[in-house]
Amino acid sequence: MKAERVSRMTGSEVNAFLGKAGFPAIENAKGVDVYRVSYRTVDVNGGPTTATGSLVLPQTSAHELRVVSYSHGTMADRREAPSVASTGEGRYLPVYFATHGFAAAAADYLGLGEGPGAHPYMHTATEAGASIDLLKAARRLAGQQQVTFDKRIMVTGFSQGGHAAMALGAALQKDRDLDVSAIAPISGPFDIEHAEFPAAVDGRLDGRSAAFYLAYWLTSMDRVYDVYDEPSEAFRPPYDAKVTDLLDGSHDLGTIAAALPSTVDELLTPAYLGKLGKPTGRLLKAIRRNDTTCRDLRPGAPVRLFAATGDRDVVLANSESCLKDLRARHVDASLMDVGDVNHLTSLRLSLPKVLAWFQQGAGTTAG
């Protein structure tokens, strides 16, 4: 493990920093210290690799801290990851929780930040693995400063991070050293097979968003599961010749969006569109291996799902499906629809509710 402090802010500086992102002023905001942590974890094949992430500690005299793990949303550019970017969702959100007195950890995931290789987008096992291994590295770093962490972690995340948060919650239940207190995913794509892919194909998702998500998911899953023999099997020209390089972790969203079409029909071949509607073989394996996050959790940690009717990036049906799976397993779970708002607004509206629940001791008291 290697850690370096990359930022130090007073409470007033935190308010100014978060204010730039539209956060309201926080009364009695605590100062924070932000660390970039490099640590060992495992890759998609279970072999050794390294990853990076962010740990944000409140400036407090307390020697024991409750911990929030925040899992960030979809990002294709490794430079936007929490441990590297000085702004953006992956940095703002851990600071937000830390200034309220929590230790906040935010994994970059594999292949983002300073981790090697390409990012295995939406790969359940490594989302959970990178997150839990960061928490363990963060505990060692805190111990060097005579601070101990509560072993029962509060878990949240947005978009892809909602998926990662559920995966982490299930992994924490199986861990020998840590446990999960409560899980609060926001607008996560939990059911690719029955909710997200159908919405992408039938036009319920924004066209450009759907094209981007599908291109990212397919190129990432192809590296792991070989979901097409050649890019031309899945992608129409000219996208078949450039999509893999475009999504190699070195291009920002604006560059990628400008290079991709505005609809799924323009991106994918008719034959592959048909496969998405009725997946089989390696494609179905990739979907079902990673569509399990809401079925892997056991009773013991309450879950509050947040989503939005108006979301055209991740449809509400994902969270409805997750809620059904959780209740079938007798997990204490609920879903709050924050309204006819877009994807990013669902985060803005849900976040104060997540914070309030965590502050009330989510998972340690009834409800």
> Model confidence over 12-71: pLDDT tens digits?
999 999 999 999 999 999 999 999 999 999 999 999 999 999 999 999 999 999 999 999
Cβ pair 18, 69 in contact under 8 A: no
3-state secondary structure of 225: helix
Percent of the chain with pLDDT over 90: 97
pLDDT given for residue 81 in this prediction: 98
Percent of the chain with pLDDT over 70: 99
How confident is the prediction for the chain on average, in pLDDT?
A: 96
d(CA 32, CA 121): 30
Spell out the CATH class of 192-289: mainly alpha
> Model confidence over 82-134: pLDDT tens digits?
999 999 999 999 999 999 999 999 999 999 999 999 999 999 999 999 999 99
pLDDT given for residue 367 in this prediction: 38
Distances (CA, A) of 259 to 127, 176, 208: 27, 46, 11
pLDDT category, 364, cuts 50, 70, 90? low
For residue 98, give the amino acid letter: A
pLDDT given for residue 184 in this prediction: 98
Cβ pair 362, 302 in contact under 8 A: yes
Q: Delimit the domains of the chain by residue range.
A: 2-191+292-359, 192-289
3-state secondary structure of 117: coil
Distances (CA, A) of 250 to 54, 77, 78, 92, 237: 20, 5, 6, 22, 22
From the centroid of its chain, how far is CA 344?
Answer: 14
Average pLDDT of 323-331? Answer: 98
Q: Which residues pair with 148 in a beta bridge?
A: 64
Report whether CATH 3.30.365.10 matches the domain 2-191+292-359. Answer: no
d(CA 94, CA 187): 18
Q: Which residues pair with 41 in a beta bridge?
A: 49
Give yes or no for a cis peptide into 299 (omega within 30° of 0).
Answer: no
Supply 57's token pair.
Answer: 């500690």
Cβ pair 69, 154 in contact under 8 A: yes
Average pLDDT of 165-191? Answer: 98
Average pLDDT of 171-178? Answer: 97
HSE (side-chain half, CA atoms, 13 Å) at 149 = 30
First-to-last alpha carbon distance for the chain, in angstroms, is: 37
> Model confidence over 199-224: pLDDT tens digits?
999 999 999 999 999 999 999 999 99
pLDDT given for residue 244 in this prediction: 96
Residue closest to 39 by CA, chosen among 112, 165, 130, 167: 130
> Model confidence over 140-163: pLDDT tens digits?
999 999 999 999 999 999 999 999
Whether pLDDT at 366 is above 70:
no
d(CA 104, CA 97): 6
Supply 217's token pair.
Answer: 């998911």
pLDDT given for residue 362 in this prediction: 78
